[in-house]
Amino acid sequence: MNHDRDSDILADSLNAAQREAVEAPPGPLLILAGAGSGKTRVLTRRIAWLVRRCDESPLAILAVTFTNKASREMRGRIERLLGFSVSGMWMGTFHGLSHRLLRRHSEEAGLREGFEIVDSDDQLRLIRRILRDMNLDEKQWPPRQAQWFINGHKEEGRRPADLQRADRPLEEQLRRIYREYENACRRLNVVDFAELMLRSHELLSQNETLREHYREQFRHVLVDEFQDTNAIQYSWLKLFAAGHKNLFAVGDDDQSIYGWRGARVENILRFQQDFPATRVIRLEQNYRSTAVILKAANAVIANNRKRLGKNLWTEGEAGVPIRVYAAFNDNDEARFVLGRIQKWVGQGNPRSACAVLYRSNAQSRAFEEALVDAGMPYRVYGGLRFFERAEIKDALAYLRLVSSRDSDSAFERVVNMPPRGIGGRTMEEVRAAAKAQNCSLWSAAADLAQGRQLTPRAAHALHRFHELIETINRDTAGLPLEEVVEATIQMSGLAAHHKNDQSERAEARLENLAELPSAARNFTHDGDAEAEPLVEFLNHATLEAGETQAGEWEDCVQLMSLHSAKGLEFPLVFLTGMEDGLFPHQRNTEDPMLLEEERRLCYVGMTRAMRMLYMTHAEVRRLHGREHCTMPSRFLAEVPEEFTEHVRAAGRTSPPPPPSPAKWTAGHNWHSAAMRPGARVVHKKFGEGTVLQMEGEAKVRVNFKGNIRWLMVALAKLEVVK
DNA sequence: CACCGAATTTTTTTT
DNA sequence: AAATTCGGTG
């Protein structure tokens, strides 16, 4: 066997299947890669292989990932393998790459130069404004529903023009809103996330010259997390790969957890139909977890019916059992987790080797409090990210207005932030004037500041604002980006505004603002140097919202949602909040399809663990300020007993803090002890049923032989069957 | 127009 | 529980 350096780097320590994937001849390839089976390794080695062995230029490769984090990581690994920088390579998220395409060909794509990307927050804001313009009541037409409708259709590649007139009034109205929304986006020269995909797709499918150009350039297309692609993304991939058919897709149907945002696992099946010559390679050997953890996870996922089917195995040791802990309430759960982390760290293990996972970001709170109290450094991923914070977005809006006066969304955002006497009334006038003259808010405001329509006071305020932006622009011209940002924060009055506010929150805001200039300095615009740095920075901020907390280099306990944990691994994992209603989430318990996605999420969570896995649940959980009695997650019951060990509350003899006295004196509690989820009850009219859920003491949700309804305990005269 | 307190309402997950 | 929105007052 040839043992030159290349084969060491590229093929060493690969198993047969991995090696087969890395070294496969060109053509459509589908890699079904189970959790921990070395998927990223195969992907990075494949790219290195193409460059080193097949003499492909890195520029001939299009590599698509799902998250920015994954993209960064992969780039780093490839550069380590190759030993040189691949900064020009087309590697990134679907959205990032689409953005790059649209920047390059904005004119062909029907966008004006300097178009702006809006995040979902801005999108919702815009939809609200449209509803107002259409004279629609937000109560009757919830903006969120419209947003969901619009994004859903875009993800399927449908424009308003593609939608039929609907018979149902609701749908017809939503269609109209979508149409208005699209007009507004065009007018404002803004692009939302879904639009990035859709428009770049249209650009290539309608422009043959460009399509051929890129097909020629990208001789190899690779995609990670293929199971999470939606209809438009899959179609987008095919646009590039249809000619040479060198599409290398890596995915795992058992880890498809983005169905709620349009992802289609079926793409894995369609792949083999669309590319009949597809070679399928399965990676089933797991290198990550102990046998116990792996078998338990396999047992859970086996309850899903809709699977391609695969069985992960490991040569590794059995390991210790999965520890299950039933906490009294969420604080007790946090205390328990903290205790175990302290023990673990006390044994000399790094904090960064343990992760606390939860279904929804709101659950991080209790853990954060416990960790803060104990002085344990931690880091929260997800949730509200740096560039999504209000104060940061305010500052960015000033910058945007400075760089392009016609950005109406930026204008709306900062015209009265900090307060400068331009309120709703004045803005109504400005909006009306802008509409009448078909111009931007900025120029309408400029006119009004001169004219006589407004009260002198309002006109003066507008004039001052106008001056302010012009001054910032003049004074920062030619400065480096970092200093532009710094100066804007100061001159805009944002810094002073938050400084005046003595509250703790304002202090944190000020700190965040102080970090923005250095974020700008660290920003190296990777794409084409075509746009001006400020514009690039602003779009970067939207597209890559940034991590939540700084201090990445400190050794920290990791807190994150199950969704953001995908692709990661930790020696010690806590899977928390294992309660029915929370996980699986209430909304996803009825529909089997949705329940299966929840189960896959559970599978993802369990398979993050390398050596030790804890699964915890609380018997009482606070949610929206109310206490709920809960039942252990059905997923817990799916973990075979032979792999688990129940942990008892150590050092605690009495149950946790007694319920507040007020609660006990409130009536109807003679049966409240028995009235808990799982109890059998009899109702005069509905007969016998099972309590599913309780809301405080007052309401119960009961399943009467499939007839599920909410009842008031005080009124329903339920009797608990002993 | 701004400010304050009351009322109302939370969709899980992310680009 | 918290955050945002609403409505009334100064």
Q: Which residue has the higher pLDDT, A515 or A711?
A: A515
Q: What is the model's pLDDT at position A44?
A: 93
Q: What is the pLDDT of residue A648?
A: 78
Residues 6+ apart with CB under 8 A from A699: A710, A711, A712, A713
CATH of A388-544, one of 1.10.486.10, 1.10.1040.10, 3.90.640.10, 3.40.50.300: 1.10.486.10
Domain ranges of chain A: 3-105+198-285, 116-188, 301-385+549-647, 388-544, 664-721
Indicate whether A206 pLDDT > 70. Answer: yes
pLDDT digits (tens, 9 = 90+) for A478-489: 889 999 999 999
pLDDT at A127 over 80: yes
Q: Which nucleotide is nearest to A362 (CA to C1')?
A: B12
Active site residue A437: no
Across A357-373, average pLDDT:
90
Mean pLDDT of A680-709: 55
Distance CA A452, CA A152 (A): 46
Q: Which of A65, A123, A147, A255 is catalytic?
A: A255
The predicted pLDDT at position A182 comes to 93
Q: Which residue is nearest to nucleotide B13 (CA to C1')?
A: A563
- Domain A3-105+198-285: CATH superfamily is P-loop containing nucleotide triphosphate hydrolases (3.40.50.300)
CATH topology of domain A301-385+549-647: Rossmann fold (3.40.50)
Query: Catalytic one among A225, A253, A254, A697?
Result: A225
Task: Provide φ and ψ at A375, rounded to 5°.
Answer: 65, 30
Q: Region A624-645: what's the mean pLDDT?
A: 91
* A233 a catalytic residue: no
For residues A655 and A482, give the distance between their C-alpha atoms in angstroms, rounded to a whole number: 55
Query: Cβ distance A548 to A368 under 8 Å?
Result: no
Per-residue model confidence (pLDDT) at position A533: 84
pLDDT at A689 (0 to 100): 63
Reported as a pLDDT band with limits 50, 70 and 90, residue A27 is very high
* A68 neighbors A96 (Cβ within 8 angstroms): yes
A3-105+198-285 and A301-385+549-647: identical CATH topology:
yes
Residue A291 has pLDDT above 90, yes or no: yes
A676 CA – C1 C1', rounded, Å = 24
Strands A570-575 and A354-358: parallel
Share of chain A above pLDDT 70, in %: 86
Q: Is the pLDDT confidence value at A553 over 80?
A: no
Distance A76 CA to B11 C1' (A): 37
Q: Does residue A557 have a pLDDT over 50? A: yes
Position with higher pLDDT, A175 vs A457: A175
Assess whether A224 carries a catalytic annotation.
yes
pLDDT at residue A682 greater than cutoff 70 = no
pLDDT for A505 equals 74
Query: Measured from the CB, is A72 under 7 Å from any atom of strand C?
Result: no
Q: Tell me what the mean pLDDT of segment A318-340 comes to.
A: 93
Let me know if A40 is a catalytic residue: yes
* Mean pLDDT for the stretch of residues A239-244: 92
CA A697 – CA A433 distance, rounded (Å): 55
Is the pLDDT score of A256 beyond 90?
yes
Q: Give the range with max mean pLDDT: A399-403, A419-423, A546-550.
A: A399-403
pLDDT reported for residue A671: 36
Q: For residue A668, what pLDDT is reported?
A: 30
Can you name the residues that pair with A41 across neighbouring β-strands? Answer: none
Q: Which of A515, A484, A516 is nearest to A399 (CA)?
A: A484
List pLDDT tens digits, range A147-185: 999 999 999 999 999 998 878 888 888 899 999 999 999
Question: Cα–Cα distance between A333 and A622 in angstroms, integer?
Answer: 12
Out of A608, A621, A634, A701, the active site residue is A608
Which residue would you say has higher pLDDT here, A32 or A138? A32
The per-residue pLDDT for A610 is 95
Higher-confidence residue: A522 or A59? A59
pLDDT at A663 over 80: no
How high is the pLDDT of residue A702? 58
User: Element (H or E) spanning A248, and its range?
Assistant: strand A247-251
pLDDT higher than threshold 50 for residue A118: yes
**How far, CA to CA in Å, does A279 sit from each of A21, A247, A275?**
9, 11, 9
> Residues, chain A, total?
722
The span from the CA of A368 to the CA of A356, in Å, is 10
**Per-residue confidence (pLDDT) for residue A335, from 0 to 100:** 93
Predicted pLDDT of residue A428: 81
Residues 608-637 of A with CB under 7 A from strand C: 622, 624-625
Cβ of A69 near strand B (distance < 7 A)? yes
Structural domain A664-721, CATH architecture: Roll (2.30)
How many other β-carbons are positioned within 10 Å of the β-carbon of residue A490?
A: 13
Predicted confidence band of residue A447 (pLDDT cuts 50, 70, 90): confident
Set A18, A39, A100, A155: catalytic member: A39
Give me the pLDDT at residue A234, please.
95
Has A608 been annotated as catalytic? yes
What's the CA A625/C1' B10 distance, rounded, in angstroms?
11
Through-space separation of residue A406 CA and nucleotide C9 C1' in angstroms: 37
User: Under CATH, which number does the domain A116-188 receive?
Assistant: 1.10.10.160
Is the C-beta of residue A651 closer than 7 Å to nucleic acid chain B?
Answer: no
Closest by alpha carbon to A497, among A405, A596, A575, A391? A391
At residue A28 the predicted structure's pLDDT band, cuts being 50, 70 and 90, is very high
| Options A20, A40, A261, A323, the catalytic residue | A40
Q: Is the peptide bond before A418 cis (omega within 30 degrees of 0)?
A: yes
Nucleotides of strand B within 7 Å of the protein's CB atoms: 1-3, 9-15
Please give the mean pLDDT across all residues of chain A. Answer: 85
Q: Tell me which residues from 139 to 178 on chain A have a beta carbon below 7 angstroms from nucleic acid strand B.
A: 139, 142, 144-145, 148
* Nearest one of A309, A314, A323 to A294, comparing CA atoms: A314
Q: Is the CB of A387 under 7 A from strand B?
A: no
DSSP assignment of A363-410, as one string? GHHHHHHHHHHTT--EEE-SSS-GGGSHHHHHHHHHHHHHH-TT-HHH
Distance CA A398, CA A412 (A): 10
